[in-house]
Amino acid sequence: MSPALPAVEGRAVQATGAGALPAAPRLRRSPWETRALRSTLLTAGAWLAAIVASVPLFSVLYMLIVRGGSRLSWEVLVELPPAGFEMGGGFGNAIVGTLVMVGLGALISVPVGIAGAVFLAELGPNSSLAAAVRFAAKTLTGLPSILAGVFAYASVVLVTGTYSAPAGAVALAVLMVPTVLLTAEEAMKMVPRITKDAAYGLGCTRSQVIWKIVLPTAMPGILTGVMLAVARAAGETAPLLFTALFSSYWLVEHGAVGLMRPTASLAVLIYNFAGMPFENQIELAWAASLVLVMIVLFINIASRLLGRRRA
């Protein structure tokens, strides 16, 4: 009995020392206590920062809807851009040009990106080639977009001798490939090991596992990456400035598709018209901005829905 007692007493003495909890707890809130005050201030600060961060987005949206919305009509969506002092007009050719170039860009970047991701995720995930490709792709995601334009200018415009939609598409594809590649790799890595084991256990070859199991299972994630890349490319101006240039005419004229010539895009039209001294063109630039933002928003929402399905 006596050997155990001193230890218990020692602990009891320690417990009544400084910093110990009072015997009768006082549980009421005391908002003016230092740590409660600090917590309140920090919470308020975080709220404020969140609001400040969203101000630009909402102010831009507000201005676009007010100034662009007033000019938005069926006419601006289907007509050609007006010349200097002309009234009316629209940017139908720029919508078509943007869709064509982004579509062509996706046509180039999606197969390359997904096939590359299959290599990174399934075929040689630990190879030194995979490490190099991952590093290159991560570097490319931060590439200033104008450099993608320089690349396409050197490799397509100089070679073909003309500004063109394919040149713009190549520039956009350079920007899209890393996003598609990295998100598709992530999506494929999320396919559980046990699911792939099941397929191998049934007698699948490696390519059957990839085609029948890995790609279908990862498809929502892959599509999300593709959509994000497309949304980014749709809004790019710099890569198109000296690859697709601009045009005041339709891509299709007299029933013939003329891809190999300067091509209009919404982003470049906004850039050109916003700097003009004519009220009509400035109004059209606002309307075109609204249309472009709506296209990007639509693609983003679509990617969310695709990503959520079956998940």
* C-beta closer to another protein: residue 10 or 192: 192
When binding is defined by CB under 8 A, the residue of 38, 138, 212, 309 that contacts another protein is: 212
Residue 192 as a binder of another protein (CB under 8 A): the answer is: yes
* C-beta closer to another protein: residue 214 or 288: 214
Q: Measured in whole angstroms, how far is the alpha carbon of residue 23 from the centre of its chain?
A: 57
Half-sphere exposure for 197 (CA within 13 Å, toward CB): 3
Residue 160 as a binder of another protein (CB under 8 A): the answer is: no
**Which residues does residue 213 pair with via DSSP β-bridges, in sequence order?**
none
Do strands 252-253 and 256-257 pair parallel, antiparallel, or not at all (unpaired)? antiparallel
Strands of 20-72 (E only): list them. Answer: none
* C-beta closer to another protein: residue 119 or 278: 119
> At closest approach, how far in Å is the CB of 205 from another protein?
5
Q: Please give the torsion angle defined by the CA atoms of residues 83, 86, 92 and 95, in that order, rounded to the nearest 10 degrees.
A: 60
When binding is defined by CB under 8 A, the residue of 200, 211, 252, 301 that contacts another protein is: 200
Say how far apart CA 132 and CA 135 lie, in whole Å: 5
27 three-class SS: coil
When binding is defined by CB under 8 A, the residue of 195, 275, 276, 298 that contacts another protein is: 195
> At closest approach, how far in Å is the CB of 192 from another protein?
7
Q: What is the DSSP string of 84-96?
A: TT--S---HHHHH
CA angle (24, 25, 30) in 5-degree steps = 135
* C-beta closer to another protein: residue 138 or 309: 309
When binding is defined by CB under 8 A, the residue of 78, 202, 297, 301 that contacts another protein is: 202
When binding is defined by CB under 8 A, the residue of 69, 124, 216, 275 that contacts another protein is: 216
Say how far apart CA 140 and CA 48 lie, in whole Å: 34
* C-beta closer to another protein: residue 96 or 213: 213
How many chain residues interact with another protein (CB under 8 A)? 19
Return all residues near 62 (Cβ < 8 A) that are at least 6 apart: none
> At closest approach, how far in Å is the CB of 120 from another protein?
16
Piece in contact with another protein (CB under 8 A), picked from 18-26, 59-67, 114-122, 204-212 = 204-212
Say how far apart CA 50 and CA 186 lie, in whole Å: 29
Residue 128 as a binder of another protein (CB under 8 A): the answer is: no
Interface ranges with another protein (CB under 8 A): 126, 192, 194-195, 197-205, 208, 212-213, 216-217, 310
